Amino acid sequence: MRVSFISAVTAGCSHLSDAVLRPPQKKALLQFGPVLRDFCSSFYFEWHLEDPLRVDLLASLTYDNNDRLISHLNQAAGNSSDVKTHQSPGRKFTALFADCMPVLSRWKEMQRALKNRLPHIWFAWDYSPREERFSPPNIHFCIDRNFTNRTRERSYTNALSLTQFEKIVDTLLDADWPAEAVWSRHKLKKSYRLLHSLDGEVIHLSFMHSRRPAIAKLNMTVPSGALESLLKKLHWPGEAGRIVDQCVLFTQKESRIKGNICFADGEFQRFELELEYNFPLMSDRRRRTMLQHLVETHLSARRQTSIMRQWPGRDDFTFRRQHGTLERWLDCKLCFTPDGTVFAKPYFGFATLPRIGWNRDVLYE
């Protein structure tokens, strides 16, 4: 079943109040409808708690759908050539993807070079409340071709050799990125060698080329007991112990810690702890504990936490004759900067599925 972007996002928006998605943001989201159509399968609203007017958009695209998207964008760009106004639909379509079109066009070539190691990507559009529009998308490359195993095998890790990882970095950075987006291959490879020595793994490589300065991220997991050693060996410029204490608080009983090592101008600038819960039901105790800690550590106001608490679950939806089930899950990211600042960003995840019959009394506590 293919569900349109408009149907999926409208269903998702119906579960969030205007305190999260205000009318200007919803209006800005509508421009994606003719562009993304039914190409993407899952989405996130990324809410900045310290800047609550900003809600970014993330959308996943599988390799199998890339040709359809490229064809659609090229057709839209061609149709715009006969229209005099710069506000033509074709120009709006291609403007949303302008910076990353060359990269998308080379996905097939990169997939062959890397032996099918790029199963999907995430587009990440940053929203500007002041301008009431989204920036061109940043890209998160999944480099784990067995990514779906993570939902079935708790102990699964993406075992990349040093040679494999270095080839991935070279292949991705050889794509035609915007001229102002410059990343250090040496830093990325050196960091992976360190991760590798600590039994770490990399799941996604993210290139935030619309940021100033441009940011590269290693989305990774590492044994929880190795985090402090990792930060120190990466020459974290702040107090590593404080990050470790917060991570321990939020990831009690977790054997591995998931997060992002963020580089800008070749320097390690930020560590992001990711708290992910793939089970979309209210009964996940870890999620409840996480929400409690957000309030206790003053990273979230109680009213914000209340909104987050109401998000997970499944619901049937009908929109414009499209019927399905909306599955929702809540993740969260804690961002640490060298000056000691910590801030949180919940991720309201959702995907559309075939209509599912289920018994809420059994699945909810």
Tokens of 52: 């609550």
Closest of 135, 316, 310 to residue 208, by C-alpha:
135
Domain that holds residue 218: 5-363
Residues 58-72 have a mean pLDDT of: 92
Q: Is the pLDDT of residue 49 over 50?
A: yes
Banded pLDDT at 284 (limits 50, 70, 90): confident
pLDDT for the residue 73: 84
Tokens of 226: 């190795």
Instruction: Output the average pLDDT for the chain.
Output: 87
pLDDT for the residue 100: 83
pLDDT for the residue 296: 96
Residues 114-126 have a mean pLDDT of: 94
pLDDT in tens, 134-156: 998 999 999 998 887 787 777 78
Banded pLDDT at 346 (limits 50, 70, 90): very high
pLDDT for the residue 81: 47
Residues 262-281 have a mean pLDDT of: 86
Q: Is the pLDDT of residue 85 over 80?
A: no
C-alpha angle 346-140-88 in degrees, rounded to nearest 5: 95
Tokens of 208: 């935030």
Banded pLDDT at 186 (limits 50, 70, 90): very high
pLDDT for the residue 84: 39
Cα distance between the two ends of the chain: 31
Inter-residue contact 31 to 107 (CB < 8 Å): no
Query: Which residue would you say has higher pLDDT here, 266 or 332?
Result: 332
pLDDT for the residue 41: 87
Residues 95-111 have a mean pLDDT of: 86
Count of the separate structural domains present in the chain: 1
Instruction: List for the chain the helix, strand, coil content (%; round to 5).
Output: 40, 25, 35
Q: How far is CA 337 from the centre of its chain?
A: 19
pLDDT for the residue 58: 97
For residues 264 and 126, give the distance between their C-alpha atoms in angstroms, rounded to a whole number: 17
Banded pLDDT at 83 (limits 50, 70, 90): very low
Percent pLDDT > 70 in the chain is 89
119: amino acid identity, one letter: P
Bond preceding residue 213 cis, omega within 30 of 0:
yes
CB environment 203-216: b (16+ within 10 A), e (fewer): bbbbbbbbeeebbb
